[in-house]
Structure formats: structure tokens, C-alpha cells
């Protein structure tokens, strides 16, 4: 049976290491970088992060450059 991370979510992979406040900061960043965003070209929620600053839409197949963790920061 797999380990569960009901409370800590995506940062459960770090276990008890690095301290709670650092894990909370990393959790916010990792959730935003793994989320899907709305494509500015086709309007669908298909924009995913490929690498640092590279975002790809799975619907219209456009690849755009943005900021590291989010496609567009205003």
C-alpha cells in the first residue's frame, strides 16, 4: 500500500526534512508550476509547463515563453 499525503499534499515526498515553513513555501510553488493554465491563443485550459519558462498548449500546439513558474505574470 502506498504512503498517503492527505495533509501535506505534493511536498509529502520530502517527509520530515527541511522544516515545515520551507515545505509550505515549496508547496505553493510546486502547485502553481504543475497546474494547467488557460491558453491565451485558443482559450482552453491546456497550457502546461515543459521546462523553466517554456509553456505548451496541448490543444493548439503553441509553445510560448513565459516566467519560470507561471506562464504570464502581470
pLDDT in tens, 16-68: 999 999 999 999 999 998 999 999 899 999 999 999 889 999 999 999 998 87
Q: Is the residue at 3 inside a domain?
A: no
Contacts of 59 (CB under 8 A, 6+ apart): 39, 42, 44, 46
Q: What is the pLDDT of residue 63?
A: 94
Residue closest to 44 by CA, chosen among 59, 32, 24:
59
Domain count, the chain: 1
Domain that holds residue 18: 9-65
Examine the pLDDT at 73 and tell me if it is beyond 90.
no
Please tell me the pTM assigned to this model: 0.78
Q: Is the residue at 74 inside a domain?
A: no
Q: Is the residue at 29 inside a domain?
A: yes
Amino acid at each position: 500500500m502506498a504512503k498517503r499525503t492527505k495533509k501535506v499534499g505534493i511536498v509529502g515526498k520530502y517527509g520530515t526534512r527541511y522544516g515545515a515553513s520551507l515545505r509550505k513555501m515549496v508547496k505553493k510553488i510546486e502547485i502553481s508550476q504543475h497546474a494547467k493554465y488557460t491558453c491565451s491563443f485558443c482559450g482552453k485550459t491546456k497550457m502546461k509547463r515543459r521546462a523553466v519558462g517554456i509553456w505548451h498548449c496541448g490543444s493548439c500546439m503553441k509553445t510560448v515563453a513565459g516566467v519560470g513558474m507561471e506562464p504570464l505574470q502581470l
